[in-house]
Structure 1
Amino acid sequence: MDLGVSHYNTNVQVRTLEALILRLPTTSTPTRSTPKRSKQRRAKRLSDQQVGELTAAYQAGDTVYDLAERFKINRKTVSGILHRAGVQIRGRLTPDQIDEAARLYAAGWSLARVGAMLGTTANTVRARLVERGARTRDTQGRER
Structure 2
Amino acid sequence: MVEGPEVQVTPVGAVSRQLDDDQVQQLIKSYEAGATVYELGDQFGIERRTVSAVLHRQGVAMRRRGLTDEQIDDAVRLYSQGWSLARIAARMDVAADTVRQRLHERGVAMRDSHGQPRAGEA
Instruction: Return the TM-score normalized by structure 2.
Output: 0.54
Q: Letter of the 1:97 partner, please give it.
A: Q
Q: 1:56 to 1:94 in 2, by over 3 A?
A: same
From 120, 123, 127, give the equivalent of 2:94: 120
Counterpart of 2:9 in structure 1 is none
**In structure 2, C-alpha distance between the alignment counterparts of 1:61 and 1:128, rounded to whole Å:** 20
Letter in 2 for 1:100: D
Residue type of the partner of 2:86? A
Aligned to 2:19: none
* Count of equivalent residues: 77
Q: 1:141 to 1:120 in 2, by over 3 A?
A: same
Candidates 106, 112, 116, aligned match of 1:132: 106
Q: Select which of 101, 112, 115 maps to 2:75.
A: 101
SS at match of 1:67: helix
In structure 2, the partner of 1:141 is: 115
Post-superposition CA distance 1:57-83 (Å, at most 9, x none): 341335543222123x7xxxx24xx5x
Could you say what the CA RMSD is over the residues aligned between the two structures, in angstroms? 2.2
Q: Kindly provide the CA deviation profile for residues 14-49 of structure 1, in whole angstroms up to 9, marking residues without a partner as x.
A: xxxxxxxxxxxxxxxxxxxxxxxxxxxxxxxxxxxx
Q: Which runs of 5+ in 1 are unaligned?
A: 1-53, 83-88
Gaps of 5+ in 2: 1-27, 38-50
Q: Which residue of 2 aligns with 1:67?
A: 55
Spell out structure 1 runs of 4+ moving beyond 6 A: none
* SS, match of residue 58 in structure 2: helix
Larger Cα-atom Rg:
1
Equivalences for 1:81-92 in 2 at 5 Å? 82=63, 89-90=64-65, 92=66
Q: Percent identity?
A: 42
